[in-house]
């Protein structure tokens, strides 16, 4: 026998999917979810007035009370069924992902390929080299920059810019219709993965050969 609480959760999951609960439970500040139909993506009709091109345009067009009301309604959990934190209280876990992974401070990270398809509205929330975000110019401008950006100084973490890429298109099965940028992105990803494996194997061999037995064998 399904309980009323279970029915509520099932109804919410069927109507909203998992994204809203994830955002509300993690207290994720995702203005990108509202930046749809700005002229550089596939959303139609536009969800904002003509001339709206940036997140600042979206936010500045509403008062703080209006912004708070929208979040409060979307993450409402009046019957305490979904486990959402109260919008009025500070959630000590809300910054845990930034604290754990370093947020934008990723200079110490390595062996990462960030893939950004510019036809994907979410590309504005992607990771790019400092000062080289291709989504910053006015909406609709064509990107003519490099496909590969070094996110870290040593180049162990890179960002790929796919001018004709969609939402994780490069991770889908390949087809004859794939644009050239997607084919090249897959090649770069495979090349980097092979390099990481090779580097790991080499480091293991070096650690093993630091032992006296290995050194003796090599000497003999």
Q: For 30-67, what is each residue's pLDDT tens digit?
A: 555 666 556 555 666 666 666 666 656 665 655 555 55
Q: What is the pLDDT of residue 120?
A: 83
For residues 64-83, average pLDDT = 65
Q: How far is CA 215 from each of CA 103, 131, 140, rounded to the nearest angstrom? A: 43, 48, 61
Q: Does pLDDT of 96 surpass 60?
A: yes
Q: What is the pLDDT of residue 97?
A: 75
Q: What is the pLDDT of residue 133?
A: 86
For residues 134-150, average pLDDT = 77
Report the interhelical angle of 4-16 vs 19-26 (nearest 10°). 110
Name the residue with higher pLDDT: 104 or 87: 104
Name the residue with higher pLDDT: 73 or 119: 119
Q: What is the pLDDT of residue 218?
A: 43
Condensed to tens digits (0 to 9), the pLDDT of residues 167-178 reads 889 999 999 999
3-class SS of residue 159: strand
Which helix (H) or strand (E) segment holds residue 220: the answer is: none
Rounded CA separation 151/38 (Å): 27
Sign of the CA dihedral with 141 first, then 146, 152, and 158 last: positive
For residues 3-8, average pLDDT = 80
Alpha helices in the chain (DSSP H): 4-16, 19-26, 55-60, 64-74, 96-101, 180-208, 212-219
User: Phi and psi (nearest 5°) for 159?
Assistant: -120, 135
User: Phi and psi (nearest 5°) for 150?
Assistant: -85, 110
Return the percentage of the chain with pLDDT > 90, whole number.
28
Rounded CA separation 117/184 (Å): 13
pLDDT band at 81 (very low <50, low <70, confident <90, very high): confident
Rounded CA separation 168/66 (Å): 33
């Amino acid at each position: 026998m399904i309980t009323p609480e279970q029915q509520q959760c099932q109804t919410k999951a069927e109507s909203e999917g998992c994204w809203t609960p994830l955002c509300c439970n993690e207290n994720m500040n995702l203005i990108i979810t509202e930046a749809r139909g700005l002229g550089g993506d596939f959303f139609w009709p536009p969800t904002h007035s003509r001339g709206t091109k940036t997140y600042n345009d979206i936010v500045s067009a509403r008062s703080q009370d209006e912004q708070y009301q929208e979040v409060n309604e979307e993450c409402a959990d009046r019957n305490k069924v979904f486990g959402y934190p109260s919008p009025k209280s500070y959630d000590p876990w809300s910054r845990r992902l930034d604290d754990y992974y370093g947020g934008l401070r990723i200079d110490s990270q390595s062996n990462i390929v960030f893939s950004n398809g510019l036809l994907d509205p979410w590309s504005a929330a992607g990771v790019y080299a400092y000062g080289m975000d291709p989504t910053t110019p006015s909406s609709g401008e064509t990107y003519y920059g490099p496909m590969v950006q070094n996110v870290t100084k040593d180049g162990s973490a890179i960002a790929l810019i796919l001018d004709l890429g969609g939402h994780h298109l490069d991770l889908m099965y390949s087809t004859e219709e794939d644009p050239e940028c997607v084919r090249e992105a897959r090649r770069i990803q495979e090349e980097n993965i092979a390099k990481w494996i090779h580097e790991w194997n080499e480091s293991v061999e070096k650690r093993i050969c630091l032992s006296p037995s290995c050194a003796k064998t090599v000497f003999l």
